[in-house]
Amino acid sequence: MEEENNKQIKPKMDFKKADQDLKEVKEVYDKHGVKFWLFAGTLLGAIRNKDYITYDHDMDCGMYFEDNDKIPKIFEELRGRGFKCMTGASMKDNNGIYKYFSFKIHRNELIDMLCFIKIKDKRVYMHGGSPNGMVSTWWSDAKFFDELDTIDFRGTKYYIPKYVEEGLGLWYGNWREPGGGAFWSYGTRITQVLKTEFFNSIK
């Protein structure tokens, strides 16, 4: 499969508009002292292709669950700039305060933001669902996210996971070759222990 390099394939995103959206989101995050990093297909494209993957339909990013308290202010400012902020997975803690596990940001192109919570030596996110029915849960070793590196991606500096090539090998398998592996090949099944600790940690 050589889709990424096939010039005949029409991109599913307008890359210039995607750049504008991602850079502006970064401005808002930087203003509020919150880090986010490129992840999943966006990270793979940035490292392997030095660009977006041609057939990708959104941008994937991660942030720390610990920055949840700053999300309402980030939403407020992004909405003031014309973005829509749509919550994916969330729940109220014991104090009645919403905790966000994932959400989507959209103006011209879609940004999927995943909130990584630390449980022991792992980082876990939940892409959708509820305490009684978790959907699209994923985990990996915390070492990839507790410290971050940076990369110049299409003219702007963004954070990326530490030990990125090792991580891509775990998450995608043969990541250097287009079609070499699927993202869900690692960390797709959350154990019952992690599931229990996941929800206990946010109460």
pLDDT tens string 71-127:
999 999 999 999 999 987 777 777 777 888 889 999 999 999 999 999 888 898 876
Sign of the CA dihedral with 70 first, then 72, 76, and 79 last: positive
Would you state the structure tokens that stand for residue 109, as one six-digit string? 């192109």
The structure's pTM equals 0.85
CA dist 18 and 16 (Å) reads 5
Asked if residue 142 has pLDDT above 90, the reply is yes
Asked if residue 159 has pLDDT above 80, the reply is yes
Q: What is the mean pLDDT of the chain?
A: 83
Q: What is the CA radius of gyration of the chain?
A: 17
Asked whether the beta carbons of 65 and 115 are under 8 A apart, the reply is yes
Query: What CATH number belongs to 3-200?
Result: 3.30.460.40
Asked whether the beta carbons of 62 and 189 are under 8 A apart, the reply is no
Asked whether the beta carbons of 101 and 90 are under 8 A apart, the reply is yes
- Within 8 A by CB and 6+ apart from 29, the residues are 35, 36, 63, 74
Q: Tell me the sheet residues that pair with 118.
A: 123
203 — pLDDT class (breaks 50, 70, 90): low
Instruction: Tell me the average pLDDT across 150-173.
Output: 95
Q: Residue 5: what pLDDT?
A: 38
Would you state the structure tokens that stand for residue 22, as one six-digit string? 């991602």
Cα–Cα distance list, 114 to 10, 11, 120, 155 (Å): 27, 24, 19, 23
8 — pLDDT class (breaks 50, 70, 90): very low
For residues 44-83, one letter each, b for 16 or more C-beta atoms within 10 angstroms of the residue's C-beta and e for the rest, the string is bbbbbeeebbbbbebbbbbbbbebbeebeebbebbeeeeb
Would you state the structure tokens that stand for residue 82, as one six-digit string? 């014309």
The residue that leads in pLDDT, 148 or 3, is 148
Instruction: Tell me the average pLDDT across 196-200.
Output: 61
User: pLDDT exceeding 90 applies to what percent of the chain?
Assistant: 55
Asked if residue 129 has pLDDT above 60, the reply is no
Q: Residue 55: what pLDDT?
A: 85
Asked if residue 29 has pLDDT above 90, the reply is yes
Instruction: Tell me the average pLDDT across 124-136.
Output: 60
